[in-house]
Amino acid sequence: MKRRDFSLLAGGAAVASTTLWSAAAHADAAKPEAGTDYLVVDPRAPVEAPAGKIEVVEFFWYSCPHCNAFEPMLEGWIKQLPKDVAFRRVPVAFRDDFVPQQRLFYALDAMGLVDKLHAKVFAAIHVEKQDLSKAPAILAWVGKQGVDVAKFTEQFNSFSVAAKASKGTQLQNSYKVEGVPALGVAGRFYVDGSLAKGMDKAIKVVEALAATVRSGK
């Protein structure tokens, strides 16, 4: 699940969203320190956001309980993102057996189903205790959600989805992701719950780093 242990907040997923991107949140994370609250990525990781946009990447794994716990907080935060922030998710693959879930995400993305089914994947694994680690179980589950299994299978096994999964792993390695959930900012900075002492604080560090990028520093 993760390359090293990190302490994440056990609760409070709902409390952070009310202050995100507020003056209070920025004040609380006004001066995050490199090497303590975040890491500088050197060499810089590639970004996909267009010029003028600040890219924020969430690295996750569907079977990670910490990613599942973080998801409600993250969803609240995404809804409040400034217009100059471009957010995207990247599923990690620390081992080969992570790849089916990478493909699950990218196949859902290709079919425009992430908004509808992303949270349901987490619920199926962590609430309903379903094993969605292998392709047959994934395809069966998708079919139960009313998705055209033939079309999904075509995407799941497609070259484009395989290429996106490979590219995601490359980005994970460029950021030197230590575990999930983790956040990358503008190809320049890496933040996780261990560094920031909780994912609620990690988000505030990301806000401060985005402000740094925005200022041109």
Residue spans of the domains in the chain: they are 39-214
Side-chain-facing half-sphere of 183: CA atoms under 13 Å: 32
Average pLDDT over every residue of 186-213: 97
Q: What pLDDT band is residue 217 in, cutting at 50, 70 and 90?
A: confident
Could you give the CA distance from residue 137 to residue 157 in angstroms, rounded to a whole number? 15
CATH of 39-214, one of 3.40.50.970, 3.40.50.80, 3.40.30.10, 3.30.1240.10: 3.40.30.10
Q: What tens digit of pLDDT does each residue of 93-107 get? A: 999 999 999 999 999
pTM (predicted TM-score): 0.88
Average pLDDT over every residue of 173-199: 97
Quick one: what percent of the chain has pLDDT higher than 90?
84
Could you give the CA distance from residue 201 to residue 207 in angstroms, rounded to a whole number? 10
Side-chain-facing half-sphere of 6: CA atoms under 13 Å: 27
Residue 4 has pLDDT above 70, yes or no: no
Comparing 7-11, 42-46, 88-92, 209-213, the range with the smallest average pLDDT is: 7-11
Which helix (H) or strand (E) segment holds residue 70: the answer is: helix 65-78
Residue 3 has pLDDT above 70, yes or no: no
Rounded mean pLDDT of the chain? 89
Q: What tens digit of pLDDT does each residue of 153-182 get? A: 999 999 999 999 999 999 999 999 989 999
Residue 156 phi/psi, 5° resolution?
A: -55, -40
Which helix (H) or strand (E) segment holds residue 56: the answer is: strand 54-60
DSSP-derived 3-state class of residue 33: coil
Quick one: which of 211, 198, 210, 209 has its CA closest to 73?
Answer: 198
Could you give the CA distance from residue 117 to residue 114 in angstroms, rounded to a whole number? 5
